[in-house]
Amino acid sequence: MTSLSTPWTAGAPSFAAVADELLAHYTDLRRYLGSRLRNPDDAADIAQSSFAQAYAHALNAPVINARALLFQAARNLCIDQFRRRSRELAALEDWLTRADVLTPSVEEILIAREQLQQLIARIERMPRLRREVFVRVRLHGQSHRQVCDELQLSAKAVELHIGRAVFDLSELSQACRHV
């Protein structure tokens, strides 16, 4: 194992020498991260990532102080984690704020249910053929041509039935807006 005072500058260190030097400080690093993060899982993850970063760096460049390299990598990863969690928290708070605005009140839900019941009642009161044409085109998405063929109606008749149904429902829509 290389001593802390001896830099790895005299040639490339062996994989084992790098690993041994870093492992000598791994327990201290875990202890440091555990006290700083107060979450053993996060501490273990950051310690492992720090070790991997320091190891990769030490294999490619001279290292004067392996302990400092290891702890600096850990500090940088802690900062990255803090920033990432801050962004996630801000995004969550933003989403919750928007969710509160978008969530209807109990009163709004009751009004919408009442309006839906009025709409259904108005559709049910339509003459049978008008209701059938309207439901097929507007609710089931059938084309005018399909409705013409299946109900044996002219294109003009389908248009008239839909127009009258829309007019019937627009009166209800006008009344609902004034509520």
Write down how long the chain is. 179
What pLDDT sits at residue 11? Answer: 57
Domain's final residue, options 84, 101, 118: 101
CB 58 within 8 A of CB 34: no
Q: What is the mean pLDDT of residues 97-124?
A: 85
Give the long-range contacts of residues 31-36, CB within 8 A, separation 24 or more.
Answer: 32/71, 32/74, 33/74, 33/78, 36/78
Say whether both 92 and 131 belong to one domain: no
Domain assignment present for 71: yes
What's residue 7's pLDDT? Answer: 47
Range of the domain at 117: 106-177
CATH of residue 166's domain is: 1.10.10.10
- Answer yes or no: do 32 and 90 share one domain: yes
Percent of the chain topping pLDDT 90: 51
Return the pLDDT at 124: 93
Taking residues 155-173, report their average pLDDT: 87
pLDDT for the residue numbered 172 = 74
Strand, coil or helix: 157: helix
Tens of pLDDT along 68-106? 999 999 999 999 999 999 999 998 888 877 766 777 889
- Which CATH number fits the domain that encloses residue 74? 1.10.1740
- 178: burial class by Cβ within 10 Å (0-12, 13-18, 19+)? exposed
Please count the structural domains in the chain.
Answer: 2
Phi, psi of 95 (to 5 degrees): -65, -45
Where a domain ends, among 73, 101, 129? 101
Confidence (pLDDT) at 175: 64
Domain boundary among the residues 101, 135, 155 is at: 101
- Tokens 């839906």 belong to 116
Does 125 fall in a domain? yes
Do 115 and 133 belong together in one domain? Answer: yes
Alpha helices in 6-143 (DSSP H): 15-23, 26-37, 40-60, 66-102, 106-125, 128-134
